Amino acid sequence: MTFNATTQVLSELTADCRVVFVGADSTMGNSAQQLDKASGGIISRILALGDFTGKFGQTQLLPEAGELNGRLLLVGTGKAEELKEGQFRTLVKNLISAVKDTKIASLALSLDDIELKGRDFNWKARLLAENTVTTLYVFDQMKSKQADPSALTGIILSAPGAEAAVQQALNTGAATGEGMNVARTLGNLPGNICTPVYLAEQAQELGKDFDELTVTILDENQMAELGMNSLLSVAKGSVEAPRLITMEYNGAGSDTKPHVLVGKGVTFDSGGISLKPGEGMDEMKYDMCGAASVFGTMQVLKQLKPKINVVGVVAAVENMPAGNASKPGDVVTTMSGKTVEILNTDAEGRLVLCDALTYIDKFNPETVVDIATLTGACIIGLGHHASGLLSNDDTLAAELLSAGLDANDKAWQMPLWAEYQQQLDSNFADIANIGGRPAGTITAACFLSRFTEDYRWAHLDIAGTAWHSGKEKGATGRPVPLLTQYVLSKVDINA
Ligand code: BES
Ligand code: MN
Ligand code: ZN
> Ligand 2 centre from 158 Cα, in Å?
49
pLDDT at 270 over 90: yes
pLDDT at position 162, please? 86
Ligand nearest to the CA of 264: 3
Flag whether 227 is in a domain.
yes
pLDDT tens, 231-267? 999 999 999 999 999 999 999 999 999 999 999 999 9
The CATH number for 41's domain is 3.40.220.10
User: What is the residue with the minimal CA distance to atom 13 of ligand 1?
Assistant: 346
Whether 146 shows a pLDDT value over 70: the answer reads: yes
DSSP per-residue letters across 2-45:
EEEEESS-TTTS--SEEEEEEEGGGEE-HHHHHHHHHTTSHHHH
Across the chain, mean pLDDT equals 97
Structure confidence by residue, pLDDT tens digits, 52-67: 999 999 999 999 999 9
Nearest C-alpha neighbor of 230 from the set 314, 345, 321: 345
- 478 in a structural domain: yes
Strands 154-158 and 17-23: unpaired
Tell me: pLDDT of 493 over 80.
Answer: no
Pocket test for ligand 1, best of 231, 341, 346 (most atoms within 8 A of CB): 346
Is 349 near ligand 1, meaning CB less than 6 Å away?
yes
165 occurs within a structural domain: no
Give the closest ligand to the alpha carbon of residue 315: 3
Q: Looking at the predicted structure, is the pLDDT value of residue 495 above 70? A: no
Q: Does residue 461's CB lie within 6 angstroms of at least one atom of ligand 1?
A: no
**What percent of the chain has a predicted confidence (pLDDT) above 70?**
100
Check pocket membership of 377 for ligand 1, CB cut-off 6 A. yes
- pTM beyond 0.75: the answer is yes
pLDDT one-digit tens code per residue, 372-393: 999 999 999 999 999 999 999 9
Regarding whether 143 and 201 lie in a shared domain, the answer is: no
The response to whether residue 347 sits with its C-beta less than 6 Å from ligand 1 reads yes
Same domain, 347 and 457: yes
226 and 318 housed in the same domain:
yes
Give the model confidence (pLDDT) of 305-326 as tens digits.
Answer: 999 999 999 999 999 999 999 9
Q: What is the pLDDT of residues 420-444, one digit of tens each?
A: 999 999 999 999 999 999 999 999 9
Q: Which residues hold their Cβ within 5 A of ligand 2, which is an ion? A: 269, 346, 348
Residue 180 clears pLDDT 70, i.e. is over it: yes
| Distance from C-alpha of 407 to C-alpha of 480, rounded to nearest angstrom | 9
Beta bridge partners of 247: 215, 312
Mean local confidence (pLDDT), 490-494: 83
Residue 135 belongs to some domain of the structure: yes
* Residues designated catalytic: 276, 350
- Asked if residue 206 and residue 137 are part of one domain, the reply reads no
Q: Which atom of ligand 1 is nearest to the CA of 266?
A: 1
The residue type found at 341 is: E
pLDDT at 476: 98
Interatomic CA distance for residues 225 and 361, integer angstroms: 17
DSSP assignment string, 202-270:
HHHHHHTT-TTEEEEEE-HHHHHHHT-HHHHHHHTTSSSPPEEEEEEEESS-TTSPPEEEEEEEEEEE-
Q: Report the number of distinct structural domains present in the chain.
A: 2
What's the pLDDT tens digit per position in 477-490? 999 999 999 999 99
Distance CA 133, CA 96 (A): 9
Q: Is 62 helix (H, G, I), strand (E, B) or coil?
A: strand
What distance in angstroms lies between residue 270's CA and the mean position of ligand 2's atoms?
7
